[in-house]
Structures are given as structure tokens and as C-alpha cells.
A = this chain, B = another copy of it.
């Protein structure tokens, strides 16, 4: 019997990337996390082509990352805004991880342009410290080294012959 591996196509990373792995999707989510809600805001902030923005917003809505909500400004007709669902909010760790990686390995001479801070809405407990993303195991161990981590098959694993 040949060596077998976990099938790499049957993987949540691949499924996630099918949803948010396109050129602009994560940048749209980033802007949404930063408060953008309206078509024109995304367009102006990102410089994305409008027709692409239309299709990206539609596909993110279809995937459940964004929600389309009507709004009406006084003196204007009803329009639609796009706001993050819980599922969209849940992409924050991914974006913080990418932010950290870029800060460390693709730095600009001036230093990072954005720092994510722990700043609760009720300022009483405001600690204001920078936020980082860390790998932590269920037993509470943190600062895991690469060699201390391994991928194991889960209940849904399928296997393929190793090449």
C-alpha cells in the first residue's frame, strides 16, 4: 500500500479562498471592517473598477460575508449599503494576520501605517495596547514554534495517494 495523504483539495483553506481569495475580496472586507458601507465609499477608497465592485459585493453578499441593507438619506432616494455579517467580522483575525505579516516582512521606511489596538467602546477599561494574532492550543500553550505544530486528519478527511 502506498503512502497516503490528506486530500489537499478537500480543505477549508481552499473553500475559504474560493470565497475571499480573489483579488479584491479581502480588501473590500478590510474597508468594511474599517467602516465603509456604501458603494461609493468602497469605490473611492480602493480605486476598484465599478463593475468589478458590483460583482464582488454581490458575491460577498451571496457568500454571507456582507449583508445588503436599504438606507435613505434625507433628500435622496433609497439606496443600499453593505455591512458585515458575523461571518464577515470573523475574517478579522485573517486580516490582522496579513497586516502583521506585511508589517514585518514588507515594511515601509516610515513604519506601519495602521496599528490595531485594544480599545473597548466604554473607555473605562481602555488598555489601548496593540493587538496581535497568536496561535494557541486548547491547553493554553502559546508561542508555538513551527515544529510544534502538525496537521492531522479530521472527521471529514479524504485521502489520496501521495505523489
Contact = CB atoms under 8 A, between A and B. Distances in A.
Interface in A88-112: 89-106, 108-112
B12 A112 contact: yes
Question: How many copies of this chain does one complex carry?
Answer: 2
Contacts of A132: 135-138
A121 B99 contact: no
Contact of A133 (B44, B93, B155): B93
Interface size bracket, A side: 35 or more
8 contacts: A8-B34, A89-B146, A93-B135, A97-B133, A114-B152, A117-B149, A118-B137, A118-B144
Interface of A: 5-17, 19-23, 26-27, 30-31, 33-34, 40-41, 44-47, 64, 87, 89-106, 108-121, 127, 129-139, 141-142, 144, 146-158, 163
